[in-house]
Structure formats: C-alpha cells, structure tokens
Amino acid sequence: MKEPKVFSLTTPVGRREFLKQTGVALSAVTLAGMLGEILASCASITGPNVTHGTTTINVASLTSDGQFLVDSNVNPDGTPILVIRQNASTYTALSMLCTHQGCQVNPPSGGIIYCACHGTRFDLHGNVLSGPAPSPLTNYGVTLNAAAKTITVTY
Ligand code: FES
C-alpha cells in the first residue's frame, strides 16, 4: 500500500519538494484555465453569434427606390443589417453575411451587392446573380410603419 506524501515546511528538502509539487499543480490549473478560454474563443470563431429578436429602423432617409442604408446597431449574425428601399411600401432587410464562406458583403453599388472575397454578386433582393455563393443572402422579415417611416426587422 502506498503511503500518502507528507510535506514538512520545517526542513529545506521538505520545502523544496513542497514548492516543486505545488508549482506543478498550479501550472496544471493555469494551463487548464487557458485551454478553457482558448476553446471558448474558438466557439465564437467557428459559428456566427446568431440571436433572435426585432429591431426598429428609421427609413425616412430612403427617399427613392434602390436607396439603402446599413444599420450596424444590431448584428444578428455578426454583420450589419442592409436595408434597401424597393419602393415606397416595400423594404428589404438583408444579412450582409455572404453565404459562400462568411465574408461581409459590400453595400450595393450599381444595383449589385458584391462580395469581394470570391466575387459573388447578389441582386438587391439578395439573390445570387453569379459567383460561388450557393444561396441568397438571409432575408429578414420586415414590417413597415408608413406613418412613422420605420420598419421593424425580425431576425
Ligand atoms: S465569401 Fe463571399 S464569395 Fe466567397
């Protein structure tokens, strides 16, 4: 039967052995803590931080069709919400997260939403026009309050 280790702090050998043993134990605890933090940070890298809710966006500045704004107050998937006025009573709210490999797309230019990472082109409804992206941009639900000139976006 193995005897438990007993340390004596009164002798130099006991102190040295005690410090060696506690140093190993503290190093193990520190490494475990660091590993936990590394694993936690990897989780946020590998998957977007998707939340669900609603946000109200003022669209009074969008006075003609095709105009857009980028609202970065809420980032449901890690990217801002892109709001495009289709016409006076229809607004589209899109995720700016490219469905190819997750880059953030550029705001529209010339009626095209472009992803600079690999060249996917989307139309103003988020549909793929060309490029490697396999599916449209996420299209959030929109409810218009015409009197208040706001939209409520459900994400
Ligand atoms: S990530 Fe957008 S085209 Fe590849």
| pTM passes above 0.75 | no
Percentage above 90 pLDDT, the chain: 66
Atom of ligand 1 nearest to the CA of 101: 1
Give the chain's radius of gyration (CA, Å): 27
Are the beta carbons of 70 and 107 closer than 8 angstroms? yes
Three-class secondary structure of residue 13 per DSSP = helix
Coil vs helix vs strand at 155: coil
Of the ranges 2-6, 14-18, 36-40, 109-113, the best mean pLDDT one: 109-113
Q: Is 115 in the pocket of ligand 1 (CB under 6 A)?
A: yes
Question: 54-154 maps to which CATH number?
Answer: 2.102.10.10
- DSSP letter assigned to residue 106: P
Dist. CA 126 → ligand 1 center (Å): 13
Cβ of 98 less than 6 Å from ligand 1: yes
Domain boundaries, the chain: 1-47, 54-154
Adjacency order of strands within the sheet including 113-114: 113-114, 121-122, 128-130
Q: Could you tell which of 96, 112, 115 is best to mutate to test the pocket of ligand 1, judged by most ligand atoms within 8 Å of the CB?
A: 115
59-113 pLDDT, tens digit per residue, is 999 999 999 999 999 999 999 999 999 999 999 999 999 999 999 999 999 999 9
**Contacts of residue 37, Cβ cutoff 8 Å, sequence gap at least 6:** none
Q: Among 95, 117, 129, name the best residue to mutate to test ligand 1's pocket (greatest count of ligand atoms within 8 A of Cβ).
A: 117
Share of the chain above pLDDT 70, in %: 67
Q: What's residue 52's pLDDT?
A: 87
Ligand 1 pocket, 131 CB below 6 A?
A: yes
